[in-house]
Structure 1
Amino acid sequence: MKTAVGIGAAALVAFASALAFAPRTPPPLAPTTIGVERSHFNTVTQVGDRLLAAGALGGILYSDDKGVTWTSAKLSQDRQALLVSIAFAPDKKTGFAVGHEGWMLRTKDAGSTWEEVAFSKENGEPLMSIARLPSGDWISVGAFGRAITSKDNGQTWGPLTLPAEVEDKHMNRIASTEDGKNWLIVGERGLVIKSTDSGETWQIEPEFYNGSFYNAMSTREGGWLIYGMRGNAFVQTAPGEQWIKSTIQAPISFFGHAQEKDGTIVLVGQGSMLGMSKDGGKTFTLQRAKGRATLTDIVLTGPDSGWISSDAGLQPFPPSQAKAAASADQGAKQ
């Protein structure tokens, strides 16, 4: 009896071994997804009907269905450096992404694929913002006074001439009016550089604040709103007018903005806080989106819809939609 059991057990082991090593076609694997509600994103933007988001580890995602699904773009080099800013030409096909270690990428197909233009692991100052001037030239600015320009659609880059007072200050963002005539570059230690001739020449704005500015936007009233750290924001009702400090009830640092059709300005910042202004940026009320993340950017896709990027992923806007979608599993196909 024992012999029979031993023979049976040996046969079972032999069968299992044969099955384990027998050639067979494995079942297809489920698509790998990136949880866009968990990843770190620094920017989200819209180009035509396409949404794009970028951030940590050099990832760029795009969505052609208003954020229902997200797809990873193909990059020629996987540097895993932090990406900060994306901008596109009027053709909505050609665009650039910039970030840390001087990393610059270019796309010619609206963001599906990206080729590396520049990268410097050693002494590569971060590039923080990029924009296309009405002339067709591209400009990019960043840390330690770095400012570059390209006159051949990004093939080659050289120094951008800015006032000497810039020195080694960090420059955080480039902004323009809708017509492209007036431009601002804002940065640390109250740095504001302006151009009133479509970016041909630049002048330093007299200092009115000594802290860091993170972003700027033109207002529908024809002026500017500049904002940054600890709830400091300033409005200029028209070019050349005095800068007036905005009223914000808490020292919230803000990093991104959008403007709704009714004129409401929305700022996004630390602690999942939103700043809402209905008077052109003079006063702001505060709301909270879901979680306690640092909100980095916002894009509006319709009258009552949009997306917010953060260091804890992407979430829908407005906050009521964000709460309703908190359990939704938004994934990015690879």
Structure 2
Amino acid sequence: MRVTLGIAVSLIVAAAGMFAFSHRDTPSLGSRQIPVDNMNLTSITQTDAGLVTAGELGHILVSSDEGNSWTQAALSDQRHALITRLHFKDSLNGLAIGHEGWILKTRDGGRTWQEVAFNPGSEPLLGIHLLPSGDWVAFGAFGQSRISRDDGISWSELPSPEGTDWHLNNIIASEDRRTWLIVGESGTLFRSTDGGTNWESIPEFYNGSLYGGLSLGDDTWVVYGMRGNIFRSDDNGLSWTSVGGELPVSIFTHQSLDNGDLLLAGQGGALLLSHDQGRSFRFLHKSGRMTVTDITLLESGNLLMSSDSGLLPPLSLAQLKQPSGA
């Protein structure tokens, strides 16, 4: 049976759908009223403006002091739809995507946003990236595909890879930006070796959803998804070997550390660490029911994580060396 939309949506747990479809008019929040420790936040990144995070009810928040205080970004239109992902091409220019085909563009690091697309009733957009051609592409539920050829200002429909109607959860680039992967529902994986111009499906090696991944260079990739499943490829995505799956929770995000280690995170606050380029992972931590949705590395060297229950306290690299906890 097809995985339902609420479950398959990348980086979104069941509560997210409740927030996304509850169109409430909420008053503007002052910097001291923003409940960043009790919000569904799906994405966090660093820009010229500082830290930028987004998620519940279309909120985009900015911090210039490493997360100690937050202000709301200025949006041209507030749709109160869940924002699923932020992606910046540099420290000033980026896009936000979300439910109902919502796309917003910023030119100042996330301080202000201009709506460039909104399609009421449209399926959620889940992954976005800038191709080497200069075109932006966005993918989402039921194979939804969009393209912009004018730096994100206008958008049109794009045929889904091989006509798929599976949920497409994320798009990933190799270090040289020539090879690209799209990961999705029911083990869906498409590969492009020409900068995202053409796509081919990779034979199924896993029947559960894949939510993300990364290139480690030298034709090496890691992808991850449901039920703690992690796969590694050493031949530029043609074949895959399982290097995880013992943890009964989904994995949604990752962060490469300065020392070359790889940190994965997901449901239940689960953290997994690899010291060997993704050949094996050590379980670090699991706490409660909240889900880690994204990770960014602060200038201090600490890690700041967003979750469906708000921003988590900064985590030091020294804490990653502590024994596993329940």
The TM-score range, normalised by the shorter chain, is 0.7 to 0.9
Q: Deviations over 1:88-141 (max 9, x none)?
A: 123x222110011111111111110111111122x3111011111122110000
Q: Please tell me the residue identity of whatever aligns with 1:292.
A: R
Question: How many Å apart are 1:220 and its aligned residue?
Answer: 4.2
1:254 aligns with 2:251: yes
Q: If the length of structure 1 is used for normalisation, what is the TM-score? A: 0.81
Q: Which has the higher contact order (CA 8 A, sep 6+)?
A: 1
Q: 2:135 aligns with which of 130, 137, 140?
A: 137
| Whole-angstrom CA distance in 1 between matches of 2:168 and 2:255 | 21
Question: How many Å apart are 1:269 and its aligned residue?
Answer: 0.4
1:70 aligns with 2:70: yes
2:175 aligned partner:
178
Question: How many Å apart are 1:283 and its aligned residue?
Answer: 1.6
Deviates more, 1:64-73 or 1:282-291: 282-291
2:46 aligned partner:
46
- Secondary structure of the 1:35 match is coil
Relative distance call for 1:155 and 1:321 in structure 2 (3 A) is same
Q: Please tell me the residue identity of whatever aligns with 2:225.
A: G
Q: Please tell me the residue identity of whatever aligns with 1:232.
A: N
1:96 aligned partner:
95
| Whole-angstrom CA distance in 2 between matches of 1:255 and 1:295 | 7
Q: Deviations over 1:12-40 (max 9, x none)?
A: xxxxxxxxxxxxxxxxxx86421211111
Question: How many Å apart are 1:320 and its aligned residue?
Answer: 7.9
Deviates more, 1:213-222 or 1:229-238: 213-222
| Whole-angstrom CA distance in 2 between matches of 1:244 and 1:124 | 36
1:16 aligned partner:
none
Relative distance call for 1:207 and 1:62 in structure 2 (3 A) is same
Deviates more, 1:314-323 or 1:242-251: 314-323
| Whole-angstrom CA distance in 2 between matches of 1:254 and 1:190 | 14
2:315 aligned partner:
318
1:163 aligned partner:
161
Question: How many Å apart are 1:240 and its aligned residue?
Answer: 4.9
Contact kept, 8 Å, 2:175 with 2:217, in 1: the verdict is: no
1:237 aligns with 2:234: yes
1:200 aligned partner:
197
Contact kept, 8 Å, 1:249 with 1:285, in 2: the verdict is: no
**Larger relative strand fraction:** 1
| Whole-angstrom CA distance in 2 between matches of 1:264 and 1:212 | 24
| Whole-angstrom CA distance in 1 between matches of 2:237 and 2:281 | 23
Extract unaligned runs of 5+ from structure 1: 1-29, 324-334
Q: Deviations over 1:177-207 (max 9, x none)?
A: 2221111110001110111111121111121
1:22 aligned partner:
none
For the pair shown, the structure with the greater C-alpha radius of gyration is: 1
Question: How many Å apart are 1:311 and its aligned residue?
Answer: 0.7
Q: Deviations over 1:197-231 (max 9, x none)?
A: 11121111121111100111111454111100001
Q: If the length of structure 2 is used for normalisation, what is the TM-score? A: 0.83
Question: How many Å apart are 1:47 and its aligned residue?
Answer: 2.3
Aligned pairs (5 A) from 1:14-29: none
Question: How many Å apart are 1:322 and its aligned residue?
Answer: 8.7
Extract unaligned runs of 5+ from structure 2: 1-29, 321-326
Question: How many Å apart are 1:247 and its aligned residue?
Answer: 2.9
| Whole-angstrom CA distance in 2 between matches of 1:192 and 1:280 | 21
1:127 aligned partner:
125
Q: Please tell me the residue identity of whatever aligns with 1:155.
A: I
